[in-house]
Amino acid sequence: MIKFILIFFGLMLFALNGFGSDNNCLSCHFDFEDEGGSASKFAKDIHSQKGLGCADCHGGDPTLDDMDDVRNSKGFRGVPNHLEVPDFCARCHSDAAYMHDHNPSMPIDQLAKYKTSIHGQRLFSAKDKKVANCVSCHSVHEIGNGQMPYSSTHPSNLPATCAKCHSDKDYMAEYKIPTDQFEKYSSSVHGLALFKRGDLGAPACNDCHGNHGAAPPGVSSLAAVCGVCHALEAELFEKSPHADAFLENDFPMCETCHSNHAIFKPSDNMIGTTESALCTECHAADDGTIGLPTADSILTSLNNLVAAHLNAKQSLDEAILKGMMTTNEEFLLKEVVQSLIQARTLIHSFDMDSVAPKAMEGIAKADTVVLNSAGLIDEYYFRRKGLAVATLIITFLAFMLYRKIRKIEQK
Amino acid sequence: MDGTQNGLIKKGYQWLDDRLHINSLVEYMGGKVVPQHSHSIFYYLGGITLFLFIVQVITGILLLMYYRPGADSAYESVKFIVSEVSFGWLIRSIHSWSANLMVLSAFLHMFTVFFTRAYRKPREMTWYTGMGLLALSMTFGFSGYLLPWNELAFFATRVGTGMAGAMPVVGDYLMVIMRGGEEVTGATIGRFFGLHVAILPLMTTGLLALHMIFIQRQGMSEPMHWAGKKQEDKKYMKFFPNFIYRDALVWLIALNILALLAVIFPDGIGVVHWPLGEKADPFGAPPAVIRPEWYFMFAFQALKMLPAHIWFIEGELFGIIVFGIGGLIWILIPLLDRRANENKRSPMIMAFGTFVVLFMVVMTIVGYLVE
């Protein structure tokens, strides 16, 4: 009986130790690693999910039971050091034939781009072990793609991934670059869209700086970077008198007015000659340009349109509150908002002849909304008066009939 | 002047009487009487239902002048009616309010007839035609609900016709016939429109004529407690002109209430509402809450509360079978309540009626409370 029990437990242990398994690496690594170590993390890794094992990266024979035997087995590559990581990953990720078999839609130029990045240049040229390599951003054994919510490269996690190094003052001290980008970005219009509204389409660090080829955009390329999303604004700016002037004075195109990481929500007060306007930072009344008069005219046009929209909305709200059918007016009011958006976009032409017609178009539509809403409100009171008259007539008839009934029944 | 007028009226009356023998009809009407007792007020419910039906016909014809059935035109034409046509909003509002009030008064009429047991011999046929009219009124409501082709109507019709599809044996065929295909489309509007403006009015007019003829021939039902009373202890009023005048007064009051509701709440109020809203989009997401009209809510909620399976039968199918049996018992009450013909109490029938009323009220309230 004892013999039988020993044989049974022996077989159980054998089975638990990966009897017949192709990958013995995990069974040992689970034993000597703490919870949360590489072995336990690897289950979440996209490579594991795609069916790759430890040996596909680290080499060696994973079927062997003894660690020393694995280390001595053919093709064992072990753990790469910081400088070796890019080439270690590129063995597969830059191999077109290999990637075609596993993920044909994935680019294979990550290493080439990385070499052009500031990170790559410092790693390969200066042998700088502090700059980011693949695992700094993608993690080591918990690698996910951009669609996986837990992945370090998912849009909502990406700013924090970059901030791991770039917000660390001590770590970045020797590079002499600011470390407040993440803080500024978090309160910017882009950061709020991503973090507060959960808009995954909002730009994160990589959308402006690139990812594998990460580099800060230069003065001349800034408009192109912003123009990827803000195409109309960029096109209008390029044709405006400001384009050459900014270039000559080394003013970054969008950043000069809108800042870079701390891009705040633009307001109409940014233009004009008031205290909060930005135009006066460069222009003066006697600078010999039409800058300030144009800015004032544009601001007046916008303010008129905003006031017209507000007035139209108030009129329409009153008609809605009275329960009138306002579908057409609501649609027209949306067109007013559209005109306002377009007029604000046209500011980037810095040309009054572009902004004014659009503002006038919006004001005309807003006036129509006011007129129609007033008509609907009049109609509401007409209905009420009509009801009062009808009710009075019906009540009178009912009363007369009641008297007639009383008269008949009294007979 | 008055003498001339009276002379003309008399001449006209004489001219008609020579040809149509109206005198005999007037004499017959003059001899008719209506019982007067503590429940006499219930006699006016049928008249109110008839008045609201007449309003439905008039406003329906006016709407028909502008309404254009079809997936591309139905919504647009209703929008045109309420926003562009003079008093179009009022006509649609009166049509919708009177439809809901008509179903309500028809239900009240049915329950008062049930609990006063006015269905007993010789008025069984009046009960059957009345039940038919109620069913037609509800079908009017169901078919009319889809016609504006707005978002709410589209999804409610999809759910409603889907429930019909759960009926045993004929369910699938019935659903395809109702929808004019597998899905609710423009073809469904065509069918519902034809049903709403041609088939149902024709059937209703025929059945209503029968119902009215039965009432005129048999008169109003006397209360059961009058059975042992002496004739001199019973109180009556003349049908013409007394009851007719009273009926007219009730109609005027109903018209006044209808006018107030239609003008103050043109899109309805609370659970009884019909805002035009957005146009139906068969590929769009359904609204968060899909509810049928209030008079279908008790059945909708009861079916929703049933488990997926009861014994070996699907829950929804089980519910439809139970409703079918319950409805059949309700219709056949004049046959089942034999004690009523002998003027005896029928506690079982009264208990059944009370249960039905409580069930409908509770389920309707639960339906609106539960999202």
* CB A133, CB A82: distance < 8 Å: yes
Residue B314: what are its φ and ψ, rounded to 5°? -65, 140
pLDDT at position A216 over 80? no
Q: Do B259 and A391 touch (CB under 8 A)?
A: yes
Residues A257-296 pLDDT 10s? 998 899 989 999 999 998 889 999 889 888 888 899 999 9
Residues B339-370 pLDDT 10s? 998 888 899 999 999 999 999 999 999 999 98
Q: Do B248 and A327 touch (CB under 8 A)?
A: no
Chain B environment of A402 (Cβ under 8 Å): 249
**Euclidean distance between the first and final Cα of chain A, in Å?**
117
Per-residue pLDDT, averaged over A26-39, amounts to 77
User: Chain centroid to CA A153: how far?
Assistant: 13
* CB A214, CB A113: distance < 8 Å: no
Quickly list DSSP for A48-81.
Answer: HHTT--HHHHH-S-TT-S-HHHHHHSTT------
Give the position of tokens 């009383």: A406
- pTM, entire model: 0.71
- In this prediction, residue B371 carries a pLDDT of 64
Interface test with A, best of B83, B257, B260 (most A CBs within 10 A): B83
Residue B236: what are its φ and ψ, rounded to 5°? -130, 160
B278: which DSSP letter? S
- In this prediction, residue A22 carries a pLDDT of 64
Query: Which residues in chain B (56-95) have CB-CB distances under 8 A to chain A?
Result: 79, 82-83, 89-90
SS3 B246: helix
Per-residue pLDDT, averaged over A3-26, amounts to 56
Per-residue pLDDT, averaged over B151-156, amounts to 91
Chain B environment of A385 (Cβ under 8 Å): none
Residue of A nearest to B243 (CA): A405
Residue B313: what are its φ and ψ, rounded to 5°? -100, 145
The C-alpha atoms of residue A117 and residue A389 are separated, in whole angstroms, by 81
Question: Which tokens in the block code for residue A256?
Answer: 């000069």
The C-alpha atoms of residue A301 and residue A292 are separated, in whole angstroms, by 14
Count Cβ neighbours within 10 Å for each residue of B326-348 and write b for 16 or more, e otherwise: eeeeeeebbeebeebeeeeebee
pLDDT at position A20 over 70? no
Burial of residue A358, with CB atoms counted within 10 A of its CB: 0-12 exposed, 13-18 middle, 19 or more buried:
buried
Residues A88-123 pLDDT 10s? 999 999 999 999 988 888 999 999 999 999 999 999
Per-residue pLDDT, averaged over B278-286, amounts to 90
Q: How many CB atoms lie within 10 A of CB B9?
A: 10
- In this prediction, residue A11 carries a pLDDT of 47
Q: Do A402 and B89 touch (CB under 8 A)?
A: no
Enumerate the β-bridge partners of residue A377: none
Closest of B186, B81, A264 to residue A255, by C-alpha? A264
User: Chain centroid to CA A55: how far?
Assistant: 37
Q: Do A398 and B263 touch (CB under 8 A)?
A: no
Alpha-helical (H) ranges within A126-213 are 134-138, 158-166, 169-172, 181-187, 189-195, 205-209
Q: Do B263 and A323 touch (CB under 8 A)?
A: no
Enumerate the β-bridge partners of residue B236: B35
Residues B173-232 pLDDT 10s? 999 999 999 999 999 999 999 999 999 999 999 999 999 999 998 999 999 888 888 888
* Angstrom distances, CA of residue A54 to CA of A69, A88, A143, A170: 15, 13, 13, 35
Per-residue pLDDT, averaged over A132-161, amounts to 92
* CB A26, CB A17: distance < 8 Å: no
The C-alpha atoms of residue B157 and residue B141 are separated, in whole angstroms, by 11
Q: How far is A193 from chain B (nearest CA, A)?
A: 25
User: Chain centroid to CA A160: how far?
Assistant: 14
What residues have CB less than 8 Å from B200, skipping those under 6 apart?
A: B136, B139, B140, B143
Residue B73: what are its φ and ψ, rounded to 5°? -125, -20
* CB A155, CB A194: distance < 8 Å: yes
Give the containing element (helix H, strand E) for B35.
strand B33-35
Per-residue pLDDT, averaged over B90-104, amounts to 97
Whether omega before B241 lies within 30 degrees of 0, making that bond cis, reads yes
The C-alpha atoms of residue A142 and residue A38 are separated, in whole angstroms, by 8
- In this prediction, residue A18 carries a pLDDT of 42
Residues B5-42 pLDDT 10s? 778 999 999 999 999 998 988 888 888 999 999 899 99
Q: How far is B199 from chain A (nearest CA, A)?
A: 32
- In this prediction, residue A34 carries a pLDDT of 73
Closest of B272, B68, B280, B290 to residue B154, by C-alpha? B280
Chain B environment of A398 (Cβ under 8 Å): 249, 252-253, 256
Per-residue pLDDT, averaged over A312-336, amounts to 94
User: pLDDT confidence of A6, banded at 50, 70, 90?
Assistant: low
The C-alpha atoms of residue A363 and residue A309 are separated, in whole angstroms, by 7
**Euclidean distance between the first and final Cα of chain B, in Å?**
68
pLDDT at position A19 over 50? no
Regarding predicted confidence, which is higher, B63 or A13?
B63
Per cent of chain B over pLDDT 90 is: 75
Chain A environment of B252 (Cβ under 8 Å): 394, 397-398, 401
Burial of residue B49, with CB atoms counted within 10 A of its CB: 0-12 exposed, 13-18 middle, 19 or more buried:
buried
Regarding predicted confidence, which is higher, A189 or A409?
A189
B292: left (phi over 0), alpha (psi -120 to 50) or beta: beta
User: pLDDT confidence of B135, banded at 50, 70, 90?
Assistant: very high
Q: Please state which of the ranges A256-265, A299-308, A367-376 shows the lowest mean pLDDT.
A: A256-265
Residue A229: what are its φ and ψ, rounded to 5°? -95, -45
SS3 B296: helix
Interface test with B, best of A401, A407, A410 (most B CBs within 10 A): A401
The C-alpha atoms of residue B124 and residue B113 are separated, in whole angstroms, by 11
Question: Which tokens in the block code for residue B212?
Answer: 């009215």
Per-residue pLDDT, averaged over A62-76, amounts to 86
User: pLDDT confidence of A7, banded at 50, 70, 90?
Assistant: low
B150: which DSSP letter? B
Mean predicted lDDT score pLDDT of chain A? 89
* CB A287, CB A295: distance < 8 Å: no
Residue A196: what are its φ and ψ, rounded to 5°? -85, -45
Interface test with A, best of B151, B250, B263, B274 (most A CBs within 10 A): B263
Q: Which of B237, B260, B276 sits opposite A387 (nearest CB)?
A: B260
Whether omega before B122 lies within 30 degrees of 0, making that bond cis, reads yes
Give the position of tokens 């007060």: A269
B284: left (phi over 0), alpha (psi -120 to 50) or beta: beta
Mean predicted lDDT score pLDDT of chain B? 92
Question: Which tokens in the block code for residue A272?
Answer: 């004009």
Per cent of chain A over pLDDT 90 is: 62
In this complex, is the C-beta atom of B34 within 8 Å of any C-beta atom belonging to chain A?
A: no
- In terms of residues, how long is chain A? 411
Give the containing element (helix H, strand E) for A295.
helix A291-321
> CB-hemisphere CA count at 13 Å for B306?
20
The type of residue at A116 is T
pLDDT at position B306 over 80? yes
Q: Which of A384, A391, A409 sits opposite B242 (nearest CB)?
A: A409
Mark out chain A residues that contact chain B at CB-CB < 8 A: 323, 325, 327-328, 383-384, 386-387, 390-391, 394-395, 397-398, 401-402, 404-405, 408-409
State the ipTM, two decimals: 0.85
The C-alpha atoms of residue B327 and residue B58 are separated, in whole angstroms, by 31
pLDDT at position B1 over 70? no
What residues have CB less than 8 Å from A284, skipping those under 6 apart?
A: A292
